[in-house]
């Protein structure tokens, strides 16, 4: 992979809410979604599914498997790309709620 990024910050939100709005955030902001997206296997999947060039502002429609056949649809948005321009096998992926980005609570990102 040419020019792999060191770190990519990806936010998530429910597909039913506006990316820059203030309503409905908690639908996609529950603790179990954060927990499942933090799993190594989920981040490995993201590295595989989105390998290659990546830029801030890109959005990906995905889902999170929360067990017992209960997937939750989410929209992932690339908020920041550091140290290169591509998703690589060693790229660290930080997943944060979109609300935290809009509220300016995530260093290195801005809504």
The 3-class secondary structure across 87-101, one letter per residue, is ECCCCEEEEEEHHHH
Identify whether 108 is part of a domain.
Answer: no
H or E stretch at 111: none
Identify whether 111 is part of a domain.
Answer: no
The arithmetic mean of pLDDT across residues 84-100, rounded, is: 90
Tokens 């429910």, located at residue: 14
Domain count, the chain: 1
Q: Which two tokens stand for residue 38?
A: 């933090």
What's the CATH number where 47 sits? 3.10.330
Domain that holds residue 83: 7-12+26-102
Tell me the β-bridge partners of 92: 7
Identify whether 66 is part of a domain.
Answer: yes
Identify whether 109 is part of a domain.
Answer: no
DSSP state of 4: B
Cα Rg of the chain, angstroms = 13
Identify whether 96 is part of a domain.
Answer: yes
Given a contact cutoff of 8 angstroms between Cβ atoms, the answer to whether 12 and 75 are in contact is yes
Identify whether 59 is part of a domain.
Answer: yes
What is the model's pLDDT at position 91?
95
Identify whether 110 is part of a domain.
Answer: no
* Whole-structure pTM value: 0.83
Identify whether 42 is part of a domain.
Answer: yes
Per-residue pLDDT tens over the stretch 29-86: 567 777 888 889 999 999 999 999 999 999 999 988 766 767 778 889 999 999 999 9
């Amino acid at each position: 992979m040419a020019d792999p990024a060191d770190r990519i910050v990806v936010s998530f939100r429910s597909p039913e809410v506006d990316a820059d709005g203030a309503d409905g955030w908690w639908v996609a902001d529950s603790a179990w979604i954060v927990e499942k997206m933090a799993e190594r296997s989920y981040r490995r999947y993201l590295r595989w599914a989105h390998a290659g060039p990546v830029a801030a502002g890109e959005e990906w429609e995905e889902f999170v498997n929360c067990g017992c056949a209960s997937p939750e649809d989410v929209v992932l948005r690339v908020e920041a790309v550091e140290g290169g321009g591509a998703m690589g096998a060693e790229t660290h992926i930080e997943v944060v709620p979109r609300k935290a980005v809009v509220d300016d609570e995530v260093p290195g990102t801005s809504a």
